[in-house]
Amino acid sequence: MNTEPTAPARLRITHAECDGALIRFQFGAQTQPGAAGALREATDAQERAADNPLRIPCTRLAGPAFGECWSAGAVSESAETCGAAWAHGDQYAMVAISVDEAAGDIEQAAEQAYQRLITCVRPSEHPYLLRIWNYFSAINQGDGDGERYRRFCVGRAQGVDGSFNDPPPAATAIGASHATGKVQVIALCARVPAIALENPRQTPAWRYPREFGPVSPGFSRGALLDVDSDTPCLLASGTASIVGHVSRHVDDVRAQLVESLANLEALLAEGTARAKCNFSLGDCAALRVYLRHPTDLALAQGVIAASALPAERVVYLHGDVCRRELAVELEGVFVARP
């Protein structure tokens, strides 16, 4: 009788229906810039989905209509209740949490969301946080330390435990394309920790100087998974036109995209060195391009088309970048070649 252990299921991301889905990321209804009727349809769909913690509150401008299906073998347990949804597999789990902002208090909502996340995840069979997505509206509203993104960072820091920043997980924070009144947090968790990655072209976010707020953003630039397999996976955090800690190419969206792609390639090179395998733009399983201005869609598609990224795996979303002077941000999943 064969008693050898079965190899663990690896993370897989597709833009089609898949077996054993941990989560299907759904995006706001599709629209086109300047199309009033389509905008009304998008708004209606967003209102109908307002209480769905799995739907990303960013209007889809172009790209795969299905969304993203994340799977890793059979799902053993799942539920959706009280503004939270979760699914547990063998090696991985997904948790989605939605917290109402009481009177617009983004700091308190962020603190509650992360307290709930830590409470759910740490005692579970998947205690390690690998990748987190954060969405809330009006991300740049407010001045100085009163900016909503900075208050969110303060609330997050108050809600996490002592292990959260040792090192912090890969993450993205994006402003919703419509008012939600909620903080949405979606997290990929695992039985074993990932390898946190930093970009040699950029200052680690958790080391940003005081000028960026009273609390540094809590995220790593990327996470490396399944390094013991022939096809490791690299999850790239939100990547923008930042060199060191300084925003570059303000008011030039094309140049911002080119700089963001250079940062993405630098991160892939770092993952290649750490995993002893080859990551490249062509190995992209899924990429999200967040655009502050939907009218920049054609320009962004042109820049992406000129790169090695597979166009059929790129989705363009209307969402605000956490730095108000920047207009575009990228994030993605890359699977190394054996």
Helices within 231-282 (DSSP H only): 253-275
Which of 127, 58, 69, 134 lies closest to 97 in space, CA to CA? 134
Is residue 152 within 8 Å of 136, Cβ to Cβ? yes
Dihedral Cα 146, 152, 158, 162, nearest 10 deg: -130
* Beta-bridge mates of residue 317: 60, 290
Alpha carbon distance 194, 92 (integer Å): 11
Rounded distance, CA 45 to CA 283, Å? 33
Q: Please give the structure tokens belonging to residue 86.
A: 């979760």
Structure tokens at 241: 């036109």
DSSP 8-state secondary structure symbol assigned to residue 193: -
| CB count in 10 Å sphere of residue 37 | 9
- Contact (Cβ atoms closer than 8 angstroms) between residue 204 and residue 233: no
| Residue 220: DSSP 8-state | B
Name the residues annotated as catalytic.
329
Q: Residue type at 154?
A: V
Helices 253-275, 297-305: inter-axial angle, 10-degree rounding: 40
d(CA 193, CA 133): 17
Measured at the CA of 264, the angle between CA 263 and CA 270, to 5 degrees, comes to 90
